[in-house]
Amino acid sequence: MEEFNDLFPPEIQENLYYYLIASFVLRTVIWLLFGNTIRKTMLLIAPENRFMKPYQAWFVAIPLFNIYWNFEVVKNLSNSLHNECHDRQLAVEERPGMKSGLLYAWTFLAINIPFPASILFMGAILQLVFFVGYWVKVSRFKTLLKEHDLFLERKMKNEDS
C-alpha cells in the first residue's frame, strides 16, 4: 500500500476521492448530453425508419454497458438515418455517420482494455477526438432533419396560400 501513496503528492492524495467522484459525475453528464443528442435525432426520424427506440439512447450513459452499446447506437443510428434520408430524398453518404461512429466505438473499447498507461493516454486522446467528431456529425444530421422539416412546413404553407 505504501507504493500507492508514492504515486500522488500529499495534496492530491487528500482529495483523490473528490477528484474521482467529480470526474465520474462529469463523464456521466457528458454521456447524458450525448445520449440526448442521439435521442433528439431519433425523434426526428419517422418510426418506420428507426432501428432503435429514442429512449434507448440513454443507455450510452451506463458505465461498462456503454462499451457494447456504442456499437449498437452507431449501427442503428446509421441505418435509421440512411432510411430516413432515402425516404426524404436527401443526398447524404451511404452509411451516415458509420465511419466516424465506429472509430469512436473502437477507441472507446480500446481505452477500457488494461494497456500500459502511455498507450491508454494516447488512446484517450484519440477517443476524445473521435467522440467529439461523432457527436458533431450526429448533431449535423439532427440539424439537417430539422431544417428539412421546416422546409416542408414552409412549402406546405405556400401551397395552401
Q: For the residues of 80-109, what is the DSSP string, one character each?
A: HHHHHHHHHT----SSTTHHHHHHHHHHHH
For residue 15, how many other CB atoms are within 10 A of its CB? 11
* Alpha carbon distance 157, 24 (integer Å): 48
User: Does residue 4 surpass a pLDDT of 80?
Assistant: no
Closest CA to 95 of 70, 109, 72, 76: 76
Q: What are the tens digits of pLDDT across the range 41-96?
A: 999 999 999 999 999 999 999 999 999 999 999 999 999 999 999 999 998 888 99
Closest CA to 145 of 79, 81, 49, 96: 81
Instruction: Show the CA angle centred on residue 97, arms to residues 86 and 104, nearest 5°.
Output: 160
3-class DSSP string for 1-38: CHHHHCCCCHHHHHCHHHHHHHHHHHHHHHHHHHHHHH
Q: Output the pTM of the full model.
A: 0.88
Domain assignments of the chain as residue spans, ordered by start: 2-160
Q: What are the tens digits of pLDDT across the range 110-149?
A: 999 999 989 999 999 999 999 999 999 999 999 999 999 9
Supply the pLDDT for residue 97.
Answer: 93
